[in-house]
Amino acid sequence: MQPITFPEAWINSDKLEGILWRAKAAIQDDKHVHFEILPSTKFLIDAAVIFLSLINQLAADGKLISIDFGTEDTVVMGYLNRMGFFDHIDQRIVILPARPDFSAAQVFNKSNPTLVEIVKITPNVDDDELPGRLADVLQAKDKKLGKAAFTIFGELIDNVIGHSSSTIDGYAALQSYKDSAVVIVSDSGKGLLETLRPKLPKRYAQASDTDILVETFDKGLSRHRGKSGRGCGLTTCARKAKQFHGKLLVRLSETRVNLIPSDDKYTPDTAYCYDNLLPIRGTHISFDFIC
Ligand SMILES: Nc1ncnc2c1ncn2[C@@H]1O[C@H](COP(=O)(O)OP(=O)(O)OP(=O)(O)O)[C@@H](O)[C@H]1O
Ligand SMILES: [Mg+2]
């Protein structure tokens, strides 16, 4: 069993895909998957949450997962602990040398105005609580962005609850950086195209995944087609995000589409769109707002 090593560098979602792609055979075929995260590795929030969803899926599939941080209290462990990563990982996952003694996310919960710790998406939470908390962070940077963000998060969270049928938890998190803010909503259920494609009219049979995604964000498509008013959620998100030059990243089963706002629509940035990636179940949508 070869360890899958995260280098001492910023791990954005691009880098994460590269690491997972190179380890694809081992992750799919081996019973025991061992990750090694070097002390000065730095995760961007979207990569951390997608990694969290992936390892929880692998553990649920019966694989033995271990993550070795080398020594206790490394910088990367501190960051992940602060974001609540260890609160949400499957209990069967082995953390080396040891799980942190306490959860920094619980101790410092809601005390930092530039982030929202990883939060579980469940149908029981108060409807406005989670989108409200996510939007408040952005509101502090820009009032209008805060308002738009409230709508965007509400739609994304609604979709996880309404469409994903996941048995594994979905998550949302936000981190604000110097000139940007990244938010991720990630679920491990049926992916967007899995729920949508079978319900589309025949004329979409030959359409590529990217074409369908672009049309879903641009014009609106819904698995509840025919029901008036459905299919507006993601177009509303796109319309609002465009006003803040929000780059949009959609990670589905084996595909990733990077959409950038141009004049009046989102256009795929083909340099950062990939197929044949390591399969990860569910829908993982992140926005990167300039603010
Ligand atoms: N998290 C998700 N998991 C699975 N499928 C999803 C998810 N999010 C969106 N979808 C699919 O994408 C389609 C479009 O979503 P969108 O939010 O735009 O419309 P809707 O949810 O069907 O209707 P509305 O949001 O207007 O009530 C959905 O009908 C569903 O098939
Ligand atoms: Mg919706």
Cβ atoms < 10 Å from Cβ of 269: 15
CA 233 to chain CA centroid, nearest Å: 18
pLDDT the model gives residue 172? 94
pLDDT the model gives residue 60? 97
CA atoms within 13 A on the CB side of 195: 22
Q: Tell me which residue has its CA closest to atom 20 in ligand 1.
A: 231
pLDDT the model gives residue 24? 97
CA distance 171 to 22: 26
Q: pLDDT tens, 107-159? A: 888 788 888 899 999 877 666 788 888 888 888 888 898 999 999 999 999 99
For a pocket test of ligand 1, which of 159, 165, 239, 248 has the largest count of ligand atoms closer than 8 A to its C-beta? 159
Ligand nearest to the CA of 171: 1
Q: 159 in ligand 1 pocket by Cβ < 6 Å?
A: yes
pLDDT the model gives residue 245? 87
CA distance 284 to 263: 25
Q: 233 in ligand 1 pocket by Cβ < 6 Å?
A: yes
Closest atom of ligand 1 to CA, residue 231: 19
Closest atom of ligand 1 to CA, residue 195: 31
pTM for this predicted structure: 0.95
Closest atom of ligand 1 to CA, residue 236: 18
Q: 152 in ligand 1 pocket by Cβ < 6 Å?
A: no
Q: How far, in Å, is the centroid of ligand 2 from the Cα of 186?
A: 15
Q: 154 in ligand 1 pocket by Cβ < 6 Å?
A: no
Angle at which helix 129-141 crosses helix 143-163, to 10 degrees, equals 150
CA distance 151 to 240: 8
* Under-70 pLDDT residues of the chain: 125-127
Residues contacting 27, CB < 8 A, separation 6+: 4, 20, 33, 58, 278
Ligand nearest to the CA of 216: 1
pLDDT the model gives residue 51? 98
Closest atom of ligand 1 to CA, residue 223: 29
pLDDT the model gives residue 73? 86
Q: How far, in Å, is the centroid of ligand 2 from the Cα of 234?
A: 6
Q: pLDDT tens, 16-38? A: 999 999 999 999 999 999 999 99
CA distance 69 to 276: 29
